[in-house]
Amino acid sequence: SKKQREISVSEFFAKNRHLLGFDNPAKALLTTIKELVDNSLDAADEARIPAEVDITIDQISEDRFRVTCTDNGPGIVPKNVPLVFGKLLYGSKFHRLKMSRGQQGIGVSAAGMYGLLTTGHAIRVISRTAKNKPANRFEIAIDTQKNHPAVKKQDEIEWDRPHGTSVEIELEASYRKGHHSVDNYIRQISLANPHATLRYRAPDRANDMDLTVYAGVTNELPPETAEIQPHPYGVELGVLMQMLRETKARTVQNFFHTEFSRVSNKVAGDIAKLARVPANRKPAKVDRKEAEALHKAIPQTKIMAPPTDCIAPIGEELLEKALTSIHPAEFITATTRRPVVYRGNPFLVETAIAYGGAELSADDAAIVYRYANRVPLQYQHGACAISKAVAATDWKKYGLQQPKGSVPVGPMVLMVHIASVWVPFTSESKEAIAHYPEIIKEIKLGLQDCGRKLGAHVRRKRRDADEEKK
Amino acid sequence: SKKQREISVSEFFAKNRHLLGFDNPAKALLTTIKELVDNSLDAADEARIPAEVDITIDQISEDRFRVTCTDNGPGIVPKNVPLVFGKLLYGSKFHRLKMSRGQQGIGVSAAGMYGLLTTGHAIRVISRTAKNKPANRFEIAIDTQKNHPAVKKQDEIEWDRPHGTSVEIELEASYRKGHHSVDNYIRQISLANPHATLRYRAPDRANDMDLTVYAGVTNELPPETAEIQPHPYGVELGVLMQMLRETKARTVQNFFHTEFSRVSNKVAGDIAKLARVPANRKPAKVDRKEAEALHKAIPQTKIMAPPTDCIAPIGEELLEKALTSIHPAEFITATTRRPVVYRGNPFLVETAIAYGGAELSADDAAIVYRYANRVPLQYQHGACAISKAVAATDWKKYGLQQPKGSVPVGPMVLMVHIASVWVPFTSESKEAIAHYPEIIKEIKLGLQDCGRKLGAHVRRKRRDADEEKK
Ligand SMILES: Nc1ncnc2c1ncn2[C@@H]1O[C@H](COP(=O)(O)OP(=O)(O)OP(=O)(O)O)[C@@H](O)[C@H]1O
Ligand SMILES: Nc1ncnc2c1ncn2[C@@H]1O[C@H](COP(=O)(O)OP(=O)(O)OP(=O)(O)O)[C@@H](O)[C@H]1O
Ligand SMILES: [Mg+2]
Ligand SMILES: [Mg+2]
């Protein structure tokens, strides 16, 4: 027989590390920063702590860097630390429907694994959950054959912070200035997180006091997001059958009422009635024919759209404020659209435009900032649903130039933010958004909202210019 | 503490099924066919059996189809069948460096999982390894929470084949004609597998005798490919350290000689000498400093390029024959380049051009067939290294029109085949090739090889046409 055997998740992703964003040394540095900062912001937001994140990059040799990310978040309990950092597909964000930057349980373990594979160094962690508890320090190396942590060192230490987490990774990397630079990336993070304070020490700094600070432009935390149940409109037959087998609910009616969002007892009864399945049938006793009937009945039953308190938009006022601070412009507008649904998941689109002013050139292609759940997307723009929607929008009617099927040309910065309980990415590196038609349609509507206001501004400006000539 | 917990591979990919190629019902049908046929061709090629694969698609209802794929391959031993079909990341092709269509241990379990999630139906398998052994029939459903098979049924049956495997999946799907159709896809498979016989029954057939047969255009099997060791030029420090810890070799010299390809005992001694590490040092006793020295010494040591009997090109003659059978043209040329290396993995590029003739229009964009390890790539052309290389090649100098940064315009069919012991894809759906610079460079050289011959033909044709006018 052929030698068929199991492949561990970590072996698979060690070989396929470009799927996680570690294609080359320059990108590896950016991906590492991203995974660390995303985790710190998620943790602080969820614990309702105003996020303060310190990012330091030290250059150790020509192609080796040490990245340290320290936050004032709630910390991680000691018994979970090895698994969090030394096991792929382990985390707190996958099994729930709630907006967060992370969603896979892969990010930080992948960064640690890349560091281990390229330098042999284990990931170093300090974490503390409360002032009256000790700070725990760990050195953890992932065993790639087994996808399991090996704790190299563990002790309790004195730490000047009452709570928080500090992560240090040594990796083969490359530090660039300019377009795809860490400096730009951190600036883009602050744009979408106006409530957070980011303090950044670059590798080429003059001394350790030489620090770039992105202070929060607001003291208000983002709205707290609720965790929701799946909406029945998205569920597939096989998934429904599995849920019926596993539910603790004792009747079909109670099953629909408790396992899904927006299904009242009455609506649950309607579904059962339409399917001609007794409302008090035991879920585990539902056979295939009945499951198929229930599955058919769901889309034919009137069920309220999913709740939207599970998404925290940045908001028009803060978008304009943040965008202006980075790109001072003569005209600025932002729009936050109301939430809609794809595959049963609520999502919403926010767009903002900064136009004109001394800094932006009229002959350059517009700058497009893409965001998903407040995280800047820097790579794979050619594969991204946002780029597709921008190119598919007719910008000529708002007074801009636009080569066919391309980004428009003009003194413009475009910012597009997709916020969802779960974002469909084109790969595990979370760099580009998959082309769901509902999402592309909604982005275009958001761009048109802002475009119309831009068009009015451009026309008004031209009228004024013409009048001056006369 | 936050509810951090483990996520199973199958849970992850059930949610992210667009990463595996199951984005929508039409694509799901194509991906399912692909995964099944790839496995059948791999199995027959490896067992040196002239592949015969029967593919049948039945439409069961408006959006439900049954796909059956039956081969004359070596079969699968009964104790491995549940894991092969009911567990993601389980297979025989990941842990070796040898050219094959599959490489992840995911494909067929993913297709079965998609069928289960959308219809509740288990995957059905019949397999037999020899005439004197019984045929075993199974019904297997993957437990997505645990990534483990649940065998619903298993028995021995009479079967009219002496050996082979038959797989049946029922799934929610959609059947289309035209560009992205199953019919076109199977035709493209035969183009790159001229030794195989494919018999295809479409869902809209008149009756069960209504069959499309792509007979092999050659009786010769593809050259047998050897399995190779990794080449030292690709290895990273952390990986080297791990290999030193795990090797059975008793000395550093023996370690390099046995664990890598192309490292003779002498060359292994050279590496150790350059690193100032005793050649007889026990590998497990090599410390970090010594490992770093060895790692540095590798690229400074002259080591022969990797062996190339691990790749089976289609070959220029068969490429021309197959391409002509599908696109009769007035001019045809093909080139198979010599193998080169990326990340320590051997790969080679083959290109073919069919030009002119009654069927191809001079005003249309050239048709581009992309292949990786003999598998047609149908989607994500915008993300693919092949598309990038085609657009980056200057076709005007061969007499074609070419909009800037675009595929050329002209009566032309382009076929590009990348063959490697391991192909870097942009996602697990294996639809597009990642942009490794070495691969893009080599594709362009292959296109230029064919382009030059095409250019000579176009010029000659124009000279003749001009002469006729005089
Ligand atoms: N700085 C931190 N503070 C508190 N908890 C953290 C921190 N970093 C990680 N965690 C916890 O560890 C888990 C695993 O993190 P990891 O980055 O691997 O996955 P994730 O963030 O859940 O998803 P993704 O792979 O999309 O990043 C998180 O879900 C979170 O519970
Ligand atoms: N028709 C078949 N005949 C013989 N062996 C098969 C057949 N189909 C699958 N197998 C075996 O089952 C294993 C798992 O198949 P699967 O498609 O899941 O993964 P793979 O082909 O190894 O990689 P990939 O995920 O890239 O397709 C294969 O490696 C092969 O050993
Ligand atoms: Mg994370
Ligand atoms: Mg396969």
State what percent of residues in chain A have pLDDT above 70. 100
Instruction: Report the distance separating Cα A460 and Cα A24, nearest Å.
Output: 47
Please state the separation of Cα B361 from the chain's center in Å. 30
Per-residue model confidence as pLDDT tens digits over B323-371: 888 889 999 999 999 988 787 788 999 999 999 988 888 888 999 999 9
Tokens representing A192 are: 């979408």
Q: What is the CA radius of gyration of chain B?
A: 25
Q: Flag whether B187 is in a domain.
A: no
Contact residues on chain B for A7, CB-CB shorter than 8 A: 89-91, 94-95, 104-105
- Please report how many Cα atoms fall inside a 13 Å half-sphere around the Cα of residue B97, on the Cβ side: 19
**Cβ-defined contact of A87 to B6 (cutoff 8 Å):** yes
Contact A297, A289 (CB under 8 A): no
Tokens representing B178 are: 């035209």
Rounded to 10°, the helix B237-246/A107-119 angle is 80
> Within this chain, do residues B159 and B54 fall inside the same structural domain, yes or no?
yes
Hey, how many other C-beta atoms are within 10 angstroms of the C-beta on A136?
A: 21
Q: Flag whether A309 is in a domain.
A: no
**CA angle (A377, A383, A389) in 5-degree steps:** 85
Q: How far is the CA of B85 from the centre of ligand 2 (A)?
A: 8
> Among A2, A117, A237, whose Cβ lies nearest the Cβ of B118?
A237
pLDDT value at position B17? 92
Contact residues on chain B for A90, CB-CB shorter than 8 A: 4-7
Average pLDDT for B43-47: 96
Residues with CB under 5 A from ligand 3 (ion): A 39, 102, 107
Q: Which residues contact A254 (CB under 8 A, 6 or more apart)?
A: A265, A268
CATH code assigned at B271: 1.10.8
Q: How many residues does chain A have?
A: 470
Q: How many residues does chain B have?
A: 470
pLDDT value at position B444? 97
Contact B119, B169 (CB under 8 A): no
Instruction: Report the distance separating Cα B49 and Cα B47, nearest Å.
Output: 5
Average pLDDT for B277-298: 96
| Burial per residue of A356-378, b for 16 or more beta-carbon CB atoms within 10 angstroms, e otherwise | beeebeeeeebebbbbbbbbbbb
Q: Flag whether A225 is in a domain.
A: no
pLDDT value at position B179? 78
The finding on whether A45 has its CB within 6 A of some atom of ligand 1 is: no
pLDDT at A1 over 60: no
Q: Flag whether A3 is in a domain.
A: no
> Within this chain, do residues B330 and B457 fall inside the same structural domain, yes or no?
yes
**CA angle (B130, B33, B153) in 5-degree steps:** 50
Q: How far is the CA of B361 from the centre of ligand 3 (A)?
A: 51
Q: Which residues contact B63 (CB under 8 A, 6 or more apart)?
A: B25, B172, B173, B174
State what percent of residues in chain A have pLDDT above 90. 80
Average pLDDT for A232-260: 93
Hey, how many other C-beta atoms are within 10 angstroms of the C-beta on B158?
A: 6
* Domain ranges, residue B346: 316-469
Domain end residue (candidates: B274, B300, B326): B300
- Position of tokens 């052929």? A2
**CA angle (B454, B460, B461) in 5-degree steps:** 90
Strands A197-201 and A52-61, by their bridges, are parallel
> Within this chain, do residues A279 and A320 fall inside the same structural domain, yes or no?
no
Please state the separation of Cα B153 from the chain's center in Å. 32
Phi, psi (degrees; rounded to nearest 5) at B443: -65, -45
Beta pairing partners, A137: A126, A155
Q: How far is the CA of A348 from the centre of ligand 2 (A)?
A: 40
> Within this chain, do residues B255 and B127 fall inside the same structural domain, yes or no?
no
Phi, psi (degrees; rounded to nearest 5) at A66: -115, 125
pLDDT at B417 over 90: yes
Structurally, chain A folds into a number of domains equal to 3
> Among B4, B15, B84, whose Cβ lies nearest the Cβ of A90?
B4
Average pLDDT score, chain B:
94
Domain end residue (candidates: A254, A269, A300): A300
pLDDT value at position B1? 53
Q: Flag whether B261 is in a domain.
A: yes
**Cβ-defined contact of B6 to A129 (cutoff 8 Å):** no
> Cα distance from A233 to chain B (closest Cα, Å)?
14
> Cα distance from A427 to chain B (closest Cα, Å)?
6
> Within this chain, do residues B277 and B347 fall inside the same structural domain, yes or no?
no
**Cβ-defined contact of A120 to B291 (cutoff 8 Å):** yes
Instruction: Report the distance separating Cα A219 and Cα A222, nearest Å.
Output: 10
> Cα distance from A104 to chain B (closest Cα, Å)?
8
Q: Which of B31, B72, B108, B140 to mutate to test the pocket of ligand 2 (most atoms within 8 A of CB)?
A: B108
Contact A385, A435 (CB under 8 A): yes
Q: Position A323: which residue type?
A: L
Contact residues on chain A for B15, CB-CB shorter than 8 A: 94, 422
Instruction: Report the distance separating Cα B270 and Cα B279, nearest Å.
Output: 9
pLDDT at A273 over 80: yes
In the three-class reduction of DSSP (H, G, I as helix; E, B as strand; rest coil), residue B310 is classed as coil
CATH code assigned at A439: 3.30.230.10
**Cβ-defined contact of B427 to A19 (cutoff 8 Å):** yes
Measured from the alpha carbon of residue A43, the closest ligand is 1
Q: Flag whether B447 is in a domain.
A: yes
> Within this chain, do residues A425 and A294 fall inside the same structural domain, yes or no?
no
CATH code assigned at B42: 3.30.565.10
> Among A92, A117, A427, whose Cβ lies nearest the Cβ of B238?
A117
**Cβ-defined contact of A237 to B4 (cutoff 8 Å):** no
Q: How far is the CA of B136 from the centre of ligand 4 (A)?
A: 20
Per-residue model confidence as pLDDT tens digits over B88-106: 999 999 999 999 999 999 9
> Within this chain, do residues B23 and B171 fall inside the same structural domain, yes or no?
yes
Average pLDDT for B272-300: 96
Contact B167, B108 (CB under 8 A): yes
> Within this chain, do residues B70 and B135 fall inside the same structural domain, yes or no?
yes
Domain end residue (candidates: A245, A266, A300): A300
Please state the separation of Cα B465 from the chain's center in Å. 43
Q: How far is the CA of B142 from the centre of ligand 1 (A)?
A: 28
Average pLDDT for A416-422: 95
> Cα distance from B141 to chain A (closest Cα, Å)?
11
pLDDT at B261 over 70: yes
Average pLDDT for A338-360: 89
> Cα distance from B199 to chain A (closest Cα, Å)?
26
The finding on whether A73 has its CB within 6 A of some atom of ligand 1 is: yes
State what percent of residues in chain B have pLDDT above 70. 100
Q: Which of A1, A45, A142 to mutate to test the interface with B (most CBs of B within 10 A)?
A: A1
Instruction: Report the distance separating Cα B283 and Cα A177, nearest Å.
Output: 41
> Within this chain, do residues B260 and B346 fall inside the same structural domain, yes or no?
no
State what percent of residues in chain B have pLDDT above 90. 80
Per-residue model confidence as pLDDT tens digits over B437-454: 899 999 999 999 999 999
Instruction: Report the distance separating Cα B208 and Cα B188, nearest Å.
Output: 23
Q: Position B254: which residue type?
A: N
Average pLDDT score, chain A:
94
Beta pairing partners, A346: A341
Contact B392, B407 (CB under 8 A): no
> Within this chain, do residues A62 and A189 fall inside the same structural domain, yes or no?
yes
Of chain A, the end-to-end C-alpha distance in Å amounts to 89
**Residues with a CB atom less than 6 Å from ligand 2:** A 2, 4; B 35, 38-40, 43, 71, 73, 76, 84, 91-93, 102-109, 165
**Cβ-defined contact of A9 to B89 (cutoff 8 Å):** yes
Q: Flag whether A430 is in a domain.
A: yes
> Within this chain, do residues A326 and A461 fall inside the same structural domain, yes or no?
yes
Q: Flag whether B199 is in a domain.
A: no
Strand (E) or helix (H) holding B184: helix B182-192
CATH code assigned at A283: 1.10.8.50
Rounded to 10°, the helix A182-192/A316-326 angle is 150
Measured from the alpha carbon of residue B38, the closest ligand is 4
> Within this chain, do residues B347 and B464 fall inside the same structural domain, yes or no?
yes
| Burial per residue of B427-452, b for 16 or more beta-carbon CB atoms within 10 angstroms, e otherwise | bbbbbbbbbbeebbebbbbbbbbbbe
* Interface contacts A/B by beta carbons within 8 Å: 159
pLDDT bracket for residue B233 (50, 70, 90): confident
Nearest of B249, B306, B293, B298 to residue B271 by alpha carbon: B298
> Among A4, A12, A89, whose Cβ lies nearest the Cβ of B7?
A89
The finding on whether A378 has its CB within 6 A of some atom of ligand 1 is: no
Strands A345-355 and A331-336, by their bridges, are antiparallel
Per-residue model confidence as pLDDT tens digits over A17-75: 999 999 899 999 999 999 999 999 999 999 999 999 999 999 999 999 999 999 999 99
Tokens representing B30 are: 């194509």
The finding on whether A410 has its CB within 6 A of some atom of ligand 1 is: no
> What is the residue with the minimal CA distance to atom 14 of ligand 2?
B91
Per-residue model confidence as pLDDT tens digits over B186-226: 999 998 999 999 999 999 998 888 999 998 888 889 989 88
Contact A85, A140 (CB under 8 A): yes
Q: Which has the higher per-residue pLDDT, B306 or A270? A: A270
Q: Position B439: which residue type?
A: I
Q: How far is the CA of B373 from the centre of ligand 2 (A)?
A: 15
Q: Which of A5, A246, A296, A386 to mutate to test the interface with B (most CBs of B within 10 A)?
A: A5
